């Protein structure tokens, strides 16, 4: 660990902020014309928006504490004020954590700037920084730096690794992460195409497209009142077919025109051709998109109001969500916060930042009660240990641990077994 830990870097350099190229936009499920930012484009899909909200809310609500890995005791520490009361003047802890996790999901990298005391080097504020304003890089010595544009003033700063908490998505180089939106870009594009198709279908009044047939000659160009061929702005000529098509769409297409009575002249005959949504299995394709995107995020379908709903399966899915999806994310937060918020001496003493994931399982009272009972009956937990997990105060005598007398050490089992047998034989003889 660097000896400069706890000191803010004084170096200033032109900021190397991350800018989105056309390739980045397309890879993140963004239209090539650059009309919308990538995450906003993707979050127009309800499943993407909800997955990001679920994961960021899960991280936001988990309480943080300091833990002594040697004594396994919780430690009272000034850092807890920043982590659980007020990380900075503008935000509550849940808002700050939600912002960091949202940036990790949307941009692949979540950043929390550690503002330290110039006198003591202790953290004074924790400020989330949007991922676009940060560019991590390594110097020739292998040391990591962060070029940052100040989120309020726009000032260019160069911060050392120790002053930036950095949580990543899937990474290939260990320095930067790839967002879920980038990895799921093709699925997002497909789902957005389905959404756009549905929008255009209903915007046109739900009417199928078709052909207008006539025996009349529609060749040649349409002419204006002056007898000259009509031209578009680009210089091309307007055909008679174009005029008929435009008039039909103007009168009969759109939500307010979908059921108007059509009056056909010039021996025109309208023939609908397109298949219905049901015939095209439109709804089924939407279900496939939801499942595919939920798989990318690791969010169970029941949290998205999809799939088969049953209490037993949802209970198991909730446990799987905590173990397989949340636990790896939480572990990264714990490791990064421990390394960068605690001093070298505190780390050597065994102090760690821990996140209590029991808050995610508080809704399942039956399973939680059964687990508490098993842990108390076997001896690992005391009454006060359980009360602490439920955010309840200690009670007198609650620190005592208990265990069943029906279990004995294996080394004592032969002698105790013989004693019990002998005692039973004596009773039989009497």
Q: Which of 369, 338, 374, 370 is nearest to 353 (CA)?
A: 338
Do 80 and 165 fall within a single domain? yes
Lowest mean pLDDT among 118-132, 133-147, 314-328: 314-328
Cβ-contact 42, 28 below 8 angstroms = yes
Do 136 and 52 fall within a single domain? yes
Reported as a single tens digit per residue, the pLDDT across 74-128 is 899 999 999 999 999 999 999 999 999 999 999 999 999 999 998 899 999 999 9
Residue where one domain finishes, among candidates 363, 379, 399: 363
Do 220 and 323 fall within a single domain? no
Residues whose CB falls within 8 Å of the CB of residue 244, separated by 6 or more in sequence, listed in order: 212, 218, 266, 268
Give the rounded distance of the alpha carbon of 216 from its chain centre. 60
Do 121 and 248 fall within a single domain? no
User: For the purposes of burial, counting CB atoms within 10 Å of the CB of 28, is it exposed (0-12), middle (13-18) or buried (19 or more)?
Assistant: buried
Say how many domains are in the chain: 3
Do 153 and 21 fall within a single domain? yes
Better pLDDT: 159 or 376: 159
Q: Cα angle vertex 252, ends 251, 255, to 5°?
A: 110
Do 43 and 160 fall within a single domain? yes
DSSP letter string over 297-341? Answer: HT--GGGGT-S---HHHHHHHHHHIIIIIIHHHHHHHHHHHHHHH
> Does the structure show a pLDDT above 90 at 338?
yes
Do 412 and 315 fall within a single domain? no
**In this predicted structure, what is the pLDDT of residue 244?**
72
Do 22 and 151 fall within a single domain? yes
Indicate the pLDDT class of residue 193, thresholds 50, 70 and 90: confident
SS3 content of the chain, % helix, strand, coil (to 5): 45, 15, 40
Reported as a single tens digit per residue, the pLDDT across 366-418 is 777 887 888 888 888 888 888 877 767 788 888 888 877 677 777 877 887 88
Do 23 and 163 fall within a single domain? yes
pTM score over 0.75? no
Cβ-contact 207, 253 below 8 angstroms = yes
Q: Which residues pair with 170 in a beta bridge?
A: 178
Mean pLDDT of 344-370: 83
- What residue numbers bound the domain in which 172 lies? 1-207+276-363
Indicate the pLDDT class of residue 32, thresholds 50, 70 and 90: very low
Cβ-contact 130, 155 below 8 angstroms = no
Do 99 and 117 fall within a single domain? yes
CA–CA distance, 366 with 233 (Å, rounded to integer): 71
**In this predicted structure, what is the pLDDT of residue 20?**
44
Reported as a single tens digit per residue, the pLDDT across 203-252 is 655 554 566 666 666 667 777 778 778 878 787 888 877 777 777 677 66
Q: Are strands 64-68 and 351-355 parallel, antiparallel or unpaired?
A: antiparallel
> Does the structure show a pLDDT above 80 at 138?
yes
> Does the structure show a pLDDT above 70 at 276?
no
Do 358 and 404 fall within a single domain? no
Residue where one domain finishes, among candidates 249, 272, 295: 272
Do 221 and 349 fall within a single domain? no
Average pLDDT of the chain, as a whole number: 79
Give SS3 for 31.
coil
Residue where one domain finishes, among candidates 309, 332, 363: 363
């Amino acid at each position: 660990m660097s000896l400069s830990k706890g000191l803010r870097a004084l170096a200033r350099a032109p900021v190397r902020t991350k800018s989105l190229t056309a390739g980045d936009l397309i890879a993140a499920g963004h239209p090539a014309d650059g009309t919308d930012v990538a995450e906003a484009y993707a979050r127009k899909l309800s499943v993407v928006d909800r997955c990001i909200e679920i994961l960021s809310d899960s991280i936001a609500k988990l309480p943080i504490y300091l833990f002594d890995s040697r004594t396994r005791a919780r430690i009272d520490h000034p850092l807890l004020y920043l982590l659980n009361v007020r990380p900075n003047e503008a935000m509550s802890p849940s808002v700050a954590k939600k912002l960091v996790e949202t940036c990790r999901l949307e941009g692949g990298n979540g950043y929390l700037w550690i503002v330290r005391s110039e006198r003591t080097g202790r953290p004074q504020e924790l400020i989330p920084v949007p991922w676009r304003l940060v560019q991590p890089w390594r110097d020739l010595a292998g040391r990591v730096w962060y070029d940052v544009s100040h989120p309020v003033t726009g000032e260019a700063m160069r911060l050392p690794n120790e002053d930036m908490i950095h949580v990543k998505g899937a990474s290939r180089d260990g320095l930067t992460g790839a967002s879920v939106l980038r990895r799921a870009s093709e699925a997002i594009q497909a789902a957005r195409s389905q959404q756009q198709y549905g929008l255009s279908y209903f915007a046109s009044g739900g009417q199928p497209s078709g052909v207008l047939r006539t025996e009349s000659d529609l060749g040649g160009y349409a002419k204006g009142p002056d007898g000259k061929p009509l031209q578009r702005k680009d210089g091309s000529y307007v055909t008679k077919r174009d005029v008929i098509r435009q008039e039909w769409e103007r009168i009969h297409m759109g939500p307010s025109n979908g059921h108007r009575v059509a009056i056909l002249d010039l021996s025109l005959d309208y023939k609908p051709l397109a298949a219905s949504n049901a015939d095209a299995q439109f709804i089924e394709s939407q279900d496939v998109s939801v499942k595919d995107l939920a798989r990318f995020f690791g969010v169970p379908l029941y949290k998205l109001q999809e799939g088969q709903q049953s209490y037993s399966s949802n209970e198991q899915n909730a446990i799987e969500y905590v173990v397989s999806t949340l636990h790896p994310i939480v572990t990264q937060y714990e490791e990064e916060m421990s390394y960068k918020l605690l001093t070298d001496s505190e780390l050597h003493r065994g102090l760690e930042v821990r996140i209590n994931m029991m808050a995610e399982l508080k809704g399942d009272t039956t399973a939680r009660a059964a687990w508490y009972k098993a842990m108390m009956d076997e001896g690992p937990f005391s009454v006060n240990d359980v009360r602490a997990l439920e955010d309840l105060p200690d009670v007198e005598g609650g620190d005592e641990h208990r265990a069943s007398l029906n279990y004995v050490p294996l080394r004592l089992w032969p002698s105790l077994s013989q004693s019990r047998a002998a005692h039973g034989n004596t009773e039989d003889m009497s």
